[in-house]
Structure 1
Amino acid sequence: MRSPSIAAAASTAVLMTLASASRGQTTGGFSLDRFEPAPAGDAFFGVPSPAAPGHLAPRVHAMLDYAHRPIHSSGDSPIDLVSSQALLRLGASLALWDRLLLSLDAPLAVAQGGDDPGIPGVAFTELTAPELGDLRFGARLRVLGRDAGPLQLGIGGYLFAPTGTPAQYTGDEEPRGAFHASLGGRLGTARSSLGFLWSASGGVELGGGPNRPQQLTFGAAAGALLGGDLLQLGAEAYGAAPLGGDLLLSSTPVQREEAGLNAELLLGAKLRVLGGLTFGAAVGPGLTNAIGTPSVRAVGMIGWAPLPQPDSAERAPAVAAGDKDDDGIDDALDACPDVKGDPSPDPAMDGCPPADRDGDTVRDIDDACPTTPGARSADVTRSGCPDDRDGDGFHDGIDACLDVPGSSSDDPRKVGCPADADDDGIVDASDACPKVKGTASRDPKQNGCPDDPDGDGVRGAADACPNERGRPDPDPAQNGCPRFVRVHADEITTSKPVQFIVYGKTRAQTVAPISDDLLREVRDAIQQNPDIELVEVQGHTDDSGSEEYNLRLSQERAEAVLSWLVAAGVPREKLVARGYGFERPLGDNRVKTGRQKNRRVQFMIIKRKGAAVQR
């Protein structure tokens, strides 16, 4: 770092291009800009990463790099020897074999200026634009770690061609080389809502001519990824420490100054859309007063780089596409891919039909009622089924009301019977409140309905849920009903699942805010049914992962929901949380829909006032 006395002296005879000299002599001058952008497609603006993802994968960017007061003096009469310098950088890179990255950076000074120190006998060289900078050619090899993994190691280097103009601070007199090693990685997958990136590098710069000292380079950066790779927020610090030597600022008169430590900080953001179109901006201060370190640097860029692809740990197991027999079992798992069958624990029989389970001589493949004996029929929809005495479409083997036409029901005791969902003796066709027990009435709108037992203001037949406090709704089927919750004898059921935030800070915070309305209705159901004395909040998972992991995960999620309900006003003594892992599946864990059913939270009524709940 320059001392105040040196800085004051520099204000009278500084800069590479202050002096003019005879041809053939070194007149001073060097590449002033100390910001070296990372190759096109890298995660950060100035700190290189070790990654080289893809094969024959091109990446490009256009970047505007603005440095404010990169050389300025302090003293009684401050002079901005270089008041500003703006470079337009066109960069490109090409990844090969997921290991090697080749890159190019072409800088062009599009605007720069400075103050004439007014030294008698010294000719001031006016800064002009546009001026070409030194072309940079780069190569990098990822030597350790997997792409997009948490820890990677890379080695790389740059070769700078002296295509710039030293007298205009855009280039060095001679070629120079830079070598560096970098560590970095990514926490969180490409599908995660929140991820973390980091990178650190260190190296050495050699050559450039007598006006540029050799130096050690360093950098570190960290950033957060939001919405997968949609938005990146981060900070990075970088710089260079000279290995002795000084800078020739002027040869007429000779003016040298000790090279100082360059260090800068950038705070930036990148937005990635449309599969890889990237917009970025960063700004930050210089941390030292060395030549080339601006008081403020601002960077803006637009580029294209393919988004990271899910690694092998993220990808689902490869299965053959399709389900030819439409039995819900993927062809890769189906032992009988051309014949519709059933799941079986025996891989040799998985997806295959049993020969004739009901023994009626109609093979299961042709039997419309494979578990109920019946007669063969030319009607394929009836072949192998018993007769249907009442002609209601339910054969006598399953029809609970053989002589009375009825309808379907989830209760085997009611299949084929006239619907009476509330068991009040009034069939649903005549029951104005088919889901709530009521009394007979001559008024069709009141027949089978109570008055307003839930006290929600929706009365009589208009209340589709007369025993559950709800809200008015223009949909008659929802009028007077909770939106998401129903109370049964042994369970409070929900119409949609409780959702969780993967990276919640505390247990209570893992419950996603989108589930607040649903959980408020669970709370209301418990509070509006004072006979409910104990509810078990159950956590369930699919069978992905170990038994220990799933038991822990299900317990934590059950406790998070319990904490939410207690915070919302449910007495703690009315709740108990228990995780069951994957021991109580509702669906088949081998298929996606089955796994979705199994990932759930249930609210089981354990005890009502006066007695335990019978199951």
Structure 2
Amino acid sequence: MNGSRKSVVTMAAALGATALLAPLNASAQGFELQQFNPMPNPSGNLFSTSSADVGQHLDWSAVAIFNYSNDPLVLRNSDGDRLDSVVSDHATTHLLVSLALLDRFELGLDLPFVVWQRGSGIPGGEQAPGEGGFGVGDIRVVPKVQIFSTRESAEDNGVALAALADVFIPTGNEESLQGGDFRVGPRLAFDAIVGGPRIAANVGYLYRPGTSYENLTIDDTLGWNLGVEVPIIEGLRATAEAYGKITPLADAIVAEDSPTELVGGAKYQIGNVLMLAGAGVGLISGYGTPDWRAFAGVGWAPALSSPAPEPEPTPEPEPEPEPEPECRAASVELDCPDVPAASCEEGQLTSYVAACEEGACAYREATTTCGEGTVCGTDEEGQAACVARAECEVDGDCTNAPSPTCEDNTLTTYAGMCAEGSCEYAPATTTCEEGFECGLTRGVPACVQKTELVKIDEETKRIEISEIVYFATGSDEIEERSFELLNQVAQVLENNPQVEAVRIEGHTDNVGRRASNVDLSQRRAESVRTYLINRGIVAERLSAQGFGPDRPVADNGTATGRGKNRRVEFHIADDE
């Protein structure tokens, strides 16, 4: 190029880039043309925007992404008119792997291969990017650590913050603009999940050796990313992001130093198989910004956690019609036939009379003291009544005792006694013991054993329970509906002193962090142990241990299986 012809080289897409003032210096260093750097583990991040999450311990991923960019480097004159494409086509395959450690760290690796590059080259310079063919780009190592998170699992609502770095190892060909010098770029990643969608933002600073091409400065850059990811249906997510950078050490902030792009696409995951595709355009035509780009990938990633199903809404009951009157005063005896039977209480006769009050049956109680020579007993029809005092010599002669009754779990029986030649029937009340309730045995009121919820299985050496122990969500607080079940467990232990030691085990599903699940299962097992001790079981007979998600009994991939895995078990420990 000579002085009479003013030509420019811009590192930009054909979107109105600012012109450079002179051709590239023949001795200038090269730089990496690729501006799209996808994150390792794209299932847990966006595309090039990092989330603040890391995988569970030893979770790993391996994904290949093919990335094509059109006209990332063009030649223009001083009026901004395009003269030629220095690099018209640029295609890279990224091999991405990642490994999570200790539920807080993640290490990623990006091995880029330039599989196709075409163009005319840079006039007057040593760089010939248009002649570049297959080659290895700069290897990128991405360590990441989560600083804090308010979420128990990656799908929960909440916010999180992480720190990471992009460390570029100069393995690419500088002359073909497929690589550059050693570079390191620390950045912060913040994200928030609100009702399903994730919003993520990154900001970072890339340190690199500086070089200049007239008014184009290749030096340290301040980079930013902003993205959003929205679940569409199970396994399908839509992703959009914008990213760019500026060169703060340049003499002025110009378009050539400020490449900016907008990309969008989707991810679909079935089990551990991840597929993704997307496309984008240049917004500010800095160096490396294409007219447009397209990418697609496939690989292996940790399976997505399925959210717990939302409870089905309970339909509002339809308003009941106004009820017909239960009774009328003129026909109360016919309308209200369920008159309670008379009874004897403390020597007095209690009887009932039917009445119709505001259209509803009512039964008014009347108490009668039996007159002289009579006693409250049973008449010839088997009903309670004031009957003639029987003549007797011994207690066995008093055979008209009222029938036993049940009320408020209290059994009332009557014993006949012969006093001064007459029978008297004294009531005796018995409150049914724990594990029993007032009911019927062969039609006669008595204290009967409640339905058994707990039994000892001699073969499995376990105390089997027919219900689960319920806790408040995410808590070790036992719900009231499980008190009766645990009362029966205590009764079984009290009735079987030969069972000297019982281990109470807590188990969870695999949703959330393993450490959190182990802690929750331990606290829940301790809560059950404390409850049984408060019911009178000797503390030395009981131990508690939480296993978290380590011992599933069902498939954690379904809501039903996860429900079965959230459980408390009682193991007889002295024979193990």
What TM-score results when the alignment is normalised by the length of structure 1? 0.45
The structure with higher relative contact order (CA 8 Å, sep 6+) is 2
Higher strand residue share: 2
